[in-house]
Amino acid sequence: MKKILIVFGTRPEAIKMAPLIKTLQEYPDIFELKVCITAQHREMLDQVLEIFDITADYDLDIMKPNQDLYDITSQILLKLKDILKEFKPDLVLVHGDTTTTFSASLAAFYQKIDIAHVEAGLRTGEIYAPFPEEINRKLTASLAKYHFAPTTTAKNNLLTEGIDKNNIIVTGNSVIDALFLMIKQIESNQQLKSSIIHNLSKQLGFNPQSLNSKLILVTGHRRENFGQGLLDICSALKQIAINYPNIKIIYPLHLNPNVYKPVNQILQDIDNIHLIQPLDYPEFIYLMEKSHIILTDSGGIQEEAPSLGKPVLVMRDTTERPEALKAGTVKLVGTDTNRIYTSIKELLDNQQLYDKMTTAQNPYGDGHTCQKIVNFLKVTL
């Protein structure tokens, strides 16, 4: 049996790694699997683990108030040292571009343990956009042995950087696996669906299941948007809310005070803007399905929303997901107030433009990413 340690620390990583954990667990005679969480995010991470019924074998529990990148990196390095020595994995599996991803990869490298990188090869070409994610993914690529690229574009990025082509496997993105898994659970479990509607109705003050108004769903928490960028985003949302009073805008707020405080200051007293607490994954998926337009600075939502036929406006100046731009499922709008406002207005007023974005094909996979990864590991390790 081959020993595999999966390490992740944030909610997006947990969502994308959950279906891979479930798939690996189907082969107990081949893999001895252990899960390590760093808890770079605590509450939001725990919610996902509970939803997917995943129990961590190791919990580094690093999160503390006002932690910075120095704190996260050093704590993970020091706390993983003993775990790696104790378990002695044949492979460490990491995901994406978080500081957990890079730090865990570096810790494994120090003990000469092979690393496999899920969602490898995403690039913007600018080391500070997004910060620190772009450099995290580049450094992880330099340390990893196996690279599970979501698209051929990501594969080509890795080839350009000198990665061995035999160690790059195009798999699609596991977030689509997670999305389809969760939609299936919601549709087949009436108790879960009723609980979702009840919880959302309580937070929003209306029932999203029977609402006739168009919903705009917003997520915004990127570090590079802190400050003026976030203020400009809020100004655009305020203008839309005032000029389209029949539209409802829902903004689940990230717990980081750099997001929570300025958004509340600008948007809290507007009737058709609903600022709510962070949502569980099933609740968020349900709202995505009900939404008309999605605004985000998140990476994963750029991949998920097109599978639901939802146009995505990306509030960043660059994206490491150019496939979505090329396919027409997303549009970059940056953080400029006028550009965001105009782009939303176009989708609300121009049905032809809206239909074009909703019918574009999602380039990020078919929901079988995790099985492709496991099939590779079965014959390679």
Q: What are the residue numbers of the active site?
A: 97, 119, 133, 221, 223, 254
Q: What is the DSSP string of 216-236?
A: EEEE---GGGTTHHHHHHHHH
Largest CA distance in the chain: 62
Give Cβ neighbours of residue 263 (< 8 Å, ≥ 6 apart): 220, 230, 234, 251, 253, 275
**CA–CA gap between residue 255 and residue 280 (Å, rounded):** 13
**CA–CA gap between residue 214 and residue 72 (Å, rounded):** 40
CB 4 within 8 A of CB 102: no
Tell me the two tokens of residue 8. Answer: 């992740």
Tell me the two tokens of residue 327. Answer: 């396919």
Give Cβ neighbours of residue 241 (< 8 Å, ≥ 6 apart): 247, 249, 267, 270, 271, 272, 273
Give Cβ neighbours of residue 239 (< 8 Å, ≥ 6 apart): 337, 341
Pairing of strands 31-37, 248-252: unpaired
Phi/psi region, residue 112 (left: phi>0; alpha: psi -120 to 50; beta: rest), is left
Tell me the two tokens of residue 179. Answer: 């999305």
**CA–CA gap between residue 9 and residue 181 (Å, rounded):** 21
Q: What is the DSSP string of 118-171?
A: ET-----S-TTSSTTHHHHHHHHHHH-SEEEESSHHHHHHHHHTT--GGGEEE-
Tell me the two tokens of residue 161. Answer: 């950087």
In SS3 terms, 243-277 reads as HCCCCEEEEECCCCHHHHHHHHHHHCCCCCEEEEC
Tell me the two tokens of residue 196. Answer: 């979702």
